[in-house]
Chain A
């Protein structure tokens, strides 16, 4: 290899890596990215380590202190008190993180992959494939999101997997449209025209050039969609569409079940509610920071 060629190769590598490295630099210097990441780390750690961290089993009930309309509040033995069925509130919240994380990740993974596959097909082929797929997505988007999720979950029955599929289905058109439009905007860019002009095949242009560059907004959307998935999962559980097992420590369900204790024991709703808010804030903070990092034009 001649010196000039080696130099050119090194230059290409540097150019190729610099955009991503720039983004990483911007992300690292953004305090809200750090805060969001920290919240997510705590959330994931709690979900994974729940059996170690939780002082009690989330299902073990101690009914001795429970009287009609009254549940014991926080104490030394039970930091967040007991719930209406005498279960340790803290343990239930810690275990609840598992359900939120599991539903969020699975439903998003499922919805985003199907959506991106459809979006990539539409973007790569164009023509009638594009038209057909996008009209289908329009139909799905015309149904209000939560109502759509309720509809899907109602068909599939009261199972945890129903909630995951329901939220996944709602995400499909969002990711399909996003990846497609992002691919379309790349299609006319200079480097694609250049690749086409030197005779690179259509397939290779899509896989090697368009997709890697089109994926940035998808990453941002995925982070933000995780936040929405957690809220939606809690919403479905709140409406009674989650798992059929009444002992499941889902945050949304815990909130729903304690509505009647609004006056006497508001903490039963406040703690699971805060758990939802904190995990959602984490993903929203990181998503926003990612958006800024990947698109410096947005930064002000």
Chain B
């Protein structure tokens, strides 16, 4: 097991090296540099040269890449050109928002998708099955920004139940020791803030969680159908175990392998790719942050941020692979 993890981590190195080169080349291929975004109308050749020198952009590319990588291995991503704060501290500030949103989306997806997929499989061919399969096809077909629009229109504009943007009411000033607003509210025993933070999570969580919901439902249904016809399930039933015990211990436990894989992969995707949802709901996470950095030509933020998200993505996938071994002892032996 340890050997497997180490080997996977070693395999990661060339991928990350390639990725850092790709991102490095990409930001420099963007039309205009940080100086045009920073100076705008006030750009004179002298000032442009000054800004480029200040950020080391006048040096040869290989030198820039060398010093960039030299800092990256010490986990120093440099300083954001737009906000003048270190990229690391910006990530520390925004990544919790993305994690919080991802968790909300996955709670929605798993909480609804697992039972729905299970029921659909147990009642395969019935109206419930067809409805849930049709629903999940619709779920993967709706663009997230359109779904967000509908949700906002129904629950915020028409019914007035939930807020449409942000993570907290703008009038609320509270301290954020961890950056996870829900956790912060629990830690400081601030009940009204907790409710407010949770209310702000509902709509973006549903919008972002709909595609994972569709996928979890489908994979659960398929996995359960695969297992229910196995001999050991028949045996378990034959020896008189109750339906509940058979479902829990024999069916679900064996069906969990593909389901866990999908949940893990989806979580990795959401952590790294919630650009649209974050923008539509003005959610101050990594997605909207990097999107803004594209327009600010904020080279350090793009280089550091994308590398960071890619590492997260690859690590989550590694965790998924490791979890195979925990869920299925047969794989551990091999």
Contact = CB atoms under 8 A, between A and B. Distances in A.
Contact of A262 (B152, B272, B313, B314): B152
A273 B152 CA distance: 14
Contacts of A143: 19, 22-23, 306, 309-310
A147 B306 contact: yes
A184 to B, nearest CB: 19
B19 A142 contact: yes
B272 A135 contact: no
B275 A142 contact: no
Interface stretch (A71-79, A193-201, A275-283): A275-283
B84 interface: no
Max chain B CB contacts within 10 Å: which of A140, A151, A255?
A151
Interface string B208-220: 0000000000000
Give chain B's interface secondary structure class: helix
Given A151-B294, A157-B31, A239-B279, A144 B145 contact: no
Given A139-B19, A235-B143, A273-B146, 13 more contacts: A136-B18, A143-B309, A147-B287, A150-B275, A155-B29, A234-B145, A235-B145, A239-B276, A262-B149, A266-B153, A273-B143, A280-B141, A281-B141
B149 A147 contact: no
Nearest to B305: A147
Contacts, number: 116
Given A145-B273, A280-B141, A139 B18 contact: yes
A235 B276 contact: yes
16 contacts: A142-B314, A143-B23, A144-B269, A146-B275, A147-B275, A147-B287, A150-B275, A155-B26, A155-B29, A227-B140, A235-B276, A239-B275, A270-B149, A276-B146, A280-B141, A284-B140
Interface of B: 14-15, 18-19, 22-23, 26, 29-31, 124, 137-138, 140-146, 149-150, 152-153, 157, 222, 225, 269, 272-273, 275-276, 279, 287, 290-291, 294-295, 306, 309-310, 313-314
| Pairs A-B, 5 closest by C-beta atoms | A144-B273, A273-B146, A139-B18, A144-B272, A280-B141
Contacts of B141: 227, 231, 277, 280-281, 284
Nearest to A149: B275
A294 to B, nearest CB: 17
Contact of A135 (B15, B138, B290, B313): B15
A154 interface: yes
Interface class of chain A by DSSP: helix
A160 B285 CA distance: 29
Contact of B137 (A138, A140, A144, A281): A281
A157 to B, nearest CB: 6
A258 to B, nearest CB: 9
Contact of B310 (A142, A145, A154, A231): A142
A293 B22 CA distance: 40
A252 B143 contact: yes
Contact of B153 (A146, A234, A262, A288): A262
Interface string A263-277: 100100110010011
B138 A288 contact: no
